[in-house]
Structures are given as C-alpha cells and as structure tokens.
Amino acid sequence: MLKNTLKKIVGVSLMMTTIIAFTACGNKQNSSTDNAQDKSQSAAMQKIKKSGKLVIGTSADYPPYEFHKSVDGKDEIVGFDIEVGKQIAKDLGVQLEIKDMKFDGLLAALDQGNVDIIVAGMNPTEERKKSVDFSNVYYTAVQSVILRTSDKDKIKSIDDLKGKKVAVQKGATQEEIAKKQMPNSQAIALPKISDLILSLKNNRADAVIVELPVATSNVNSNKDLFISDIKVQNEVEGSAVAVKKGSTDLVQSINKTIDRLTKDKSIDKYVTDATNSVE
C-alpha cells in the first residue's frame, strides 16, 4: 500500500520534471532569434548547435576508457573516450558536457534526449542498432578474464569455471559473452566495474570478464588478481559512438573526427596517455 503511494508520488514528480524540461525547451526556442534553424539538419544536430554544447553520456567506471581522477584536488572524468569526445565537440564547434551514469542507463538517456551521444567503450551490436545509430569504430580491444591469484593453478580453462560465478557488467556485451561462451557457469550482472572487482576479491564471484585495457588497469591496482590466459571471443568488435537514430549528419561529423584521429594516430596516443594516468 505504502509502496504504491510512494510509486505514485515518484511517478508524478518524474512527470513534472519532464514537463518543466519541455517548457524550458520551448521558451528557449522562441527566444532564440540568432541561430536560425536549418531544416536540413537532424534534430540532434540542431539541438547541439543551438545549445552550443555537446552532452556526452558515459559510465566512468572503465579505466582507461573513462574514469574519475583527482586533478589538482578536483574530481574529474578523464580517459581516452573523453579525449575523443573533446575532439568531436571541437569539430562541431561547441562546448563539451559530460554526464556520468550507470552503463545500463545510457541507451535510455540517449533515447530520452538527456545526452546527445554515448561515448563509453560501447560495441555497435545488432541489438543496440535497433534503437540507435553508431559511428565507425574508433578503438578495438580483446576480451579478458580476471581471476584471483590464489586460483592460478585451479582455473585454467572455461571448463574449470563450470559451476562457478562469473561477474559481468549489467547491460554490457560481456553479459552475452558469459551466457553463450560459459554456459556452465553462473553469470552475475552488476552495475559497476568496481562491483565486479570487489565481488571477485570477496569470493562472491570467481571470474570477471572485461575488455583487456580495463582488466590491466584493475589488475595493476589489485595485486591479488591477475589476467588469465582463458580466451573469450568478442561478439562484436570495437567501440563506437552511439547517436539517436536518424542523426546522419551527426554521424558523418563524428566519423570525420574519428578518421582524423585515427590517421594522425591521436587515438593511440590518447590510449597510452590514459593508461599511464590510471592511478
């Protein structure tokens, strides 16, 4: 009963926020006389140009892709995805704003217009392509399995993980990888990478699947863990930027930026720099 009432209150206040947001948007549109609207632009592009900022959604639990770091005593979100985001914003001629959220909330945030693009080490899977469009791939990593050092001699193959718990990030491709490639293990999906690492350290899970650069960063700061030789296959190769469906002009602009950063090897440099700056 109380639960239902609470639900209603939450529902109503959520609706109010939405309405306020819409009203705010409407006012802004009416009052802006400069920035004339170009009908040939996608809605996403118009929004970005008009507001003068690109809002990127990310899940900053994924070093060296994106992570929190204290810079001059201030908490900042850094990583090679963020550097790519900065360049995309620069080429669009707008400011960059970063919104940090749970990985499994990113697609909904894009759909609802809370973010303009997603840069979060996201693989362009067929399933996701049903609801969003993707840029070209800007970086490719292999998958890896993290184990406890104390299990080094006990767990050497996927078979050895039979009946054991494998921790993966909720909403991530690793969830599928665990289910398909480790059908005899029990997959446990948790919201944040730090949750996965902690569950492995505390014996609540026996293995973690993440992309190799993330595994390396986490193993470097956790001496009781190591990257195993167990091989799992990527379902879909590479990270790409997600945009709202139909934003062709935005995808084209992002692809141009990615092209430039790939050709002049900037991406490689961002990856190295970000990897070195993980604490």
Give residues in contact with ligand ARG (CB under 6 A): 59, 61-62, 65-66, 103, 120-123, 169, 172-173, 193, 211
CA 3: distance to chain centroid? Answer: 32
Give min distance, CB of 246 to ligand ARG, in A.
21
- DSSP bridge partners of 117: 56, 243
* Least distance between ligand ARG and beta carbon 121 (Å): 4
Tell me the two tokens of residue 100: 């940090």
Minimum distance from residue 194 beta carbon to ligand ARG (Å): 10
Nearer to ligand ARG, 113 or 191 (CB): 191
Instruction: Specify the residue, 61 or 151, whose C-beta has the smaller distance to ligand ARG.
Output: 61
Q: Which is nearer to ligand ARG, 127 or 224 (CB)?
A: 127
Q: Give the pairing of strands 207-211 and 165-169.
A: parallel
Residue 29: strand, helix, or coil: helix
Nearer to ligand ARG, 44 or 214 (CB): 214
The answer to whether 226 and 146 have CB atoms below 8 angstroms apart is: yes
Min dist. Cβ of residue 279 to ligand ARG (A): 17
Residue 160 vs 176, nearer CB to ligand ARG? 176
Q: Which is nearer to ligand ARG, 42 or 135 (CB)?
A: 135
DSSP string computed for 135-167: EEEEE---EEEEEEGGGTTT--STGGGTT-EEE
- Give CA–CA dist 154/99, Å, rounded: 41
Shortest Cβ 230–ligand ARG spacing (Å): 18
Note whether 64 and 213 are within 8 A (CB): yes
Residue 69 and residue 277 in contact, taking contact as beta carbons nearer than 8 Å:
yes
Is the separation of the CB atoms in 166 and 206 below 8 Å?
yes
Calpha distance 74→3 (Å, rounded): 39
In whole angstroms, how close is the CB of 78 to ligand ARG at the nearest point? 13
